[in-house]
Amino acid sequence: MRSDKIKKGLERAPHRSLLRALGFSDDEMRAPLIGIANSFNEIIPGHIHLKDIVSAVKAGIRQAGGVPVEFGVIGVCDGLAMNHEGMKYSLPSRDIIADSVEIMAKAHAFDGLVLVASCDKIVPGMLMSAFRLNIPAILIAGGPMLTGEFRGKKVNLISTFEAIGKVKKGEMTEEELAELEACACPTCGSCAGMFTANSMNCLTEALGLALPGNGTIPAVYSDRIRLAKETGKTIVNLVKKNLTPRKIVTEKSFRNAIAVDMALGCSTNTVLHLLAISKEAKIPLDLKVFDEISRKTPILAKLIPSGPHSVAELHQAGGIPAVMKELSKLGLIYEDCLTVSGKTIGEIISKAVNRNPEVLRTAENPYSHEGGIAILYGNLAPEGAVVKTSAVVPEMLRHKGPARVFNSEEEAYTAILSGAIRPGDVVVIRYEGPKGGPGMREMLSPTSAIIGMGLGSSVALITDGRFSGGTQGACIGHVSPEAEEGGPIALVEEGDIIEINIPERRLHLHVSEEELERRRKKWKPPKKKLEGLLKKYHALVKSGSTGAVLE
């Protein structure tokens, strides 16, 4: 066992002495040492209940003959960090989380890891560490939040973001907004739609690094506690068999996850994170793979924000196994892929049942024959840009309009809420990329304002930043190269005509190459005074097209 490095032999007497100070018995000295990375804190609704999940994980580990040792990991709530400087720290936290888990596991010679998380950058950060360390590991999420109810309608966090625009437009009173905000997030858990947190938890299940149900069992269900106990038992079994992430997950596993991603219309952040995770897994993956799989994968569900159904409803319909079973009918799932359960994907989905074809459509009756994310290229994005097609209304799949240029999220948000943006406009927000932010902020506030102001079917938004999984509309992000590195988005001027053609995967700036070259010679990046973490991040981070990895 790896933990023998700190437990066995004459030279390890000092190490054993320290373990005995923790109360370790002789039997525990001989048992597998399982680290539990717990991202519990008291500021994220998706993490406030993780102590209960960890308690259940510990029970499962002990039942299987292992010794659980818990340690803490940071986490940022993207909702609370939104639309201010705090969002600059969200994406950088992904790499700090990966580094933290690596440090704890290496320093203390854990035999295996249970990764307990729920939200946004925390799940991918932990998965990055699992592949980097390549010791037996399994992830369990805290589970999705339930939807709220406001005057007979299902509501969620995004409902409150969009309501701000409705108040500004006079379609809702501030008193009504206060009533809405009080009921939009009624339970603990990761926000109720197929936003980034739930997207990544579903894809972890599809990858094979979490047990069935991980992505969809609601946070408040007792099934989540039972799943945590089973997760604890499973990690001990993985240690005994020395089954590590790189032995379980292959390129086919990633393709399975991307197919599920496309079928469910997951967050565009999944592209960013799967690229970063695959790098740690040493499995080549690029933007073209996402588009290739998207073109042949049907959309089978319209989940919040793209449609009316919650992640809890997807669970009741059969969850990720049912999704994969529908996709397998079309030959889109590699059923021989192994999972942490010890079963193959094929064995898991053989017993799956689609219990509600209204929530999860069958392969024969999809919403669309192409998947929920598309990769666009053109003279405005030579290295690619990402759009969530499942959240775009049909009339905006093709759009041409004048650029309205802003050099920060705040400038654009103020303009939208003040009524300065008109139907037909293309809002361009730049210098918000991985380096330019720094931190590649999510643009949920501007995109929600566009929807709230009634412009969702007539205005597009393009940015070198990124979007929340809660974003809807013709919103194109991850434009690469970014403005900070002199990408073409830095050269756009007010009034330039931009053409978006999602079916043809094209993003074109109607400005001649000669004119762009003239502008390029005059361009200089804006000066920023950076300190601390953001200064380091700015120096190390790479393009959004790479997954914003650090090198």
Nearest Cα residue to 309 out of 322, 319, 295: 319
Q: Select which of 190, 310, 341, 468 is catalytic.
A: 468
Q: Residue 525 carries which DSSP code?
A: P
Q: Is 468 a catalytic residue?
A: yes
Strand order in the sheet with 137-141: 67-72, 33-38, 112-117, 137-141
Print the SS3 string covering 224-276. Answer: HHHHHHHHHHHHHHHHHHCCCHHHHCCHHHHHHHHHHHHHHCCCCHHHHHHHH
Cα dihedral 304, 308, 309, 311 in deg (nearest 10): 20
Nearest Cα residue to 461 out of 509, 397, 381, 403: 403
Strand partners, 475: 461
CB-CB contact of 486 with 525 (8 Å): yes
Cα(511)–Cα(343) distance, integer angstroms: 55
Cα(439)–Cα(435) distance, integer angstroms: 7
Angstrom CA distances, 113 to 5, 66, 210, stand at 16, 11, 12
E strand map for 306-423: 373-378, 381-388, 398-406
CB-CB contact of 304 with 194 (8 Å): yes
CB-CB contact of 317 with 354 (8 Å): yes
Strand partners, 426: 403, 460
Cα(3)–Cα(28) distance, integer angstroms: 11
CB-CB contact of 225 with 218 (8 Å): no
Nearest Cα residue to 146 out of 76, 221, 74, 73: 221
Helix (H, G, I), strand (E, B) or coil at 132: helix
Sign of the CA dihedral with 321 first, then 327, 329, and 331 last: negative
Cα(249)–Cα(208) distance, integer angstroms: 7
CB-CB contact of 92 with 81 (8 Å): no
Residues labelled as active-site residues: 468
